[in-house]
Amino acid sequence: MPELVEVLEFLDNSGSVMVKRVPDNGPTEIKWGAQLTVRETQEAIFFRDGQVVDVFAAGRYMLETRNFPVITKWVTSFAYGPNSPFRAEVYFTNKKLFTNLKWGTQEPILFADRDLKMVRLRAFGNYTIQISDSRVFVNQIVGTMGMYQDADIADYLKNIIVSKLTGILGKQAQSVMDLPSAYDSINENVKTALQPDFQDLGLSLHNFYVGSISVPEEVQEMIDQRSGMSALGNMDEFMKYKMAMSIQDAANNVNGIAGQTVGGGVGLGMGFMMPQMVQQAMAPAIQPSASMPEQKSPIEKLKDLKSLLDLGIITQAEFDQKKAQLLSLI
C-alpha cells in the first residue's frame, strides 16, 4: 500500500526554483484531511488526469469538506469517500522576483553605422522576471517536469530578447557613438517590446538593462583614432609641435641623425630643413599654375615623407595616409 501524503508544502533554499512538483514521482495518494501550506510568494496548483483542478493562493488549508469544496466535489465524483485518499499532483509555483538573470548576444548583431558603415556589435545585460500566471506558465513551459529553475528558461528568453534588441538598436541610434547616451531609452523600448511575449508565457518582465554594447577591436581602434584626431584640433599646429619635439629628441641622442656632424654640422642643417620638409610633405597636393611657383613632384614628396617617418616626426598611420594621397596623383 503506498504511503499517504499528509503534509503538502515546498521550501526553496536555493532561490532559483520557479516550479516544484510535490511529490517528485508524479501522482500520489494524498490523505483526505492532509495539510496544504502555501507561502506568500507561492501558489499551489492541483492537477488530476492532466487537468488543473484548482489553484490555491497563500494560506494554510486542511483538505477536507468544509475547507476544500472544489476538491470535495472532485473526489466524490470519482467515487472516493469523504475520508478516502485521492491521487493528485501538486505544483508549487514561486512568484517571487527572479533577479539578475543574464542575457547576451551569442552571435554579433549587424548594425548599420552612419560613419563606420556596417559594424558587428555584441551586447550584454540583465533582467528581472516574475511568474504572473501560474496556470499558463506550468502548462506552456514546465509541462511534466518535476522541477523547473530560472536557468532552464534563460536560454529561451535570451533568444527573444536579442531578436527584439536587434530591431530597436537601428531605430535608437545611427552610430555606435550615439549608443552610450541612448541606453535608458533602449532599456525602456526593449522592455515594452518584450512584455507581450513574456505575458504569453505567464511571465512579467519587471526590469531590463543593457550593461554594455561593444564593437570589434579593429573598429574600436578606428573610433580611438577618430577621437584622437578630433582632440588634436588644428593639425598644422600639432605637426609643428611634433616636429619641434622630434628635433629636440634627436639633438639629445648622440647616436641620432641630428647628433651626427658631417663637414661641420649636418644636424644643424637638418634642423633648418625639417620645417620645410614637413610643410611640403604634409601639404595637400595641388596642380601648379602659371602664377604659382613649381611644386615638388609626388615622388619627391614621398621621399621627404619617408625621411620624416624615419626621424619619428610622423607616425606610420600618418605616413600611410599621405602616401595613399600622393600615389593617387602619379
Give the tens place of pLDDT for each residue, 200-257: 999 999 999 999 988 888 777 766 666 555 545 555 555 665 666 666 666 666 554 4
C-alpha cell at 180: 552610450
Lowest mean pLDDT among 5-9, 65-69, 85-89, 168-172: 65-69
Query: Considering the domain boundaries, does residue 226 fall inside one?
Result: no
For residue 115, the model assigns a pLDDT of 77
Which CATH number characterizes residue 110's domain?
A: 3.30.479.30
Residues 68 and 126 in one domain: no
In a domain, 30, yes or no: yes
Burial 41-52 (b: 16+ CB within 10 A, else e): ebbbbbbbeeee
What cell was used for 31? 490523505
Asked whether residue 223 is assigned to any structural domain, the reply reads: no
Residue with cell 522541477: 147
Instruction: Specify the 3-state DSSP secondary structure of 136.
Output: helix
Domain with 264, as residue range(s), is 233-327
Q: Give yes or no: residues 86 and 102 share one domain.
A: no
Supply 253's cell numbers: 641622442
Q: Please report whether residue 35 resides in a domain.
A: yes
Tell whether 127 and 173 lie within a shared domain: yes
Task: Give the whole-angstrom CA distance, residue 308 versus residue 30.
Answer: 90
Average pLDDT of the segment spanning 45-71: 75
Last residue of a domain, one of 38, 69, 94: 94
Instruction: Please indicate, yes or no, whether residues 135 and 191 belong to a single structural domain of this protein.
Output: yes
What distance in Å separates the CA atoms of residue 178 and residue 113, rounded to the nearest whole number? Answer: 10
Same domain assignment for residues 290 and 305? yes
Buried b (16+ CB within 10 A) or exposed e, 83-98: eebbebbbbbbbbeeb
Paired sense of beta strands 17-22 and 147-149, if any:
antiparallel
Whether 108 and 144 share a structural domain: yes
Give the model confidence (pLDDT) of 123-157 as tens digits.
Answer: 999 999 999 999 999 999 998 888 999 999 998 99
Q: How many domains does the chain have?
A: 3
In a domain, 310, yes or no: yes
pLDDT digits (tens, 9 = 90+) for 89-114: 889 999 999 998 999 998 888 888 88
- Report yes or no on 224 lying in a domain: no
What is the reported pLDDT for 257? 46
Q: Are residues 248 and 318 in the same domain?
A: yes
Residues 114 and 151 in one domain: yes
Last residue within a domain, chosen from 171, 188, 218: 218
Q: Report if residue 206 sits inside a domain.
A: yes
Neighbouring residues of 172: CB distance < 8 A, sequence distance ≥ 6: 178, 179, 182, 185, 186, 189
Question: Do the beta carbons of residue 191 and residue 208 sit within 8 Å?
Answer: yes
| pLDDT grade for 3, boundaries at 50, 70 and 90 | low
245 Cα distance to chain centroid: 43
Domain boundary among 94, 109, 144: 94
- Same domain (yes/no): 244, 320: yes
Q: Which of 9-13, 40-44, 250-254 has the lowest mean pLDDT?
A: 250-254
Instruction: Record the pTM.
Output: 0.62
225, part of any domain: no
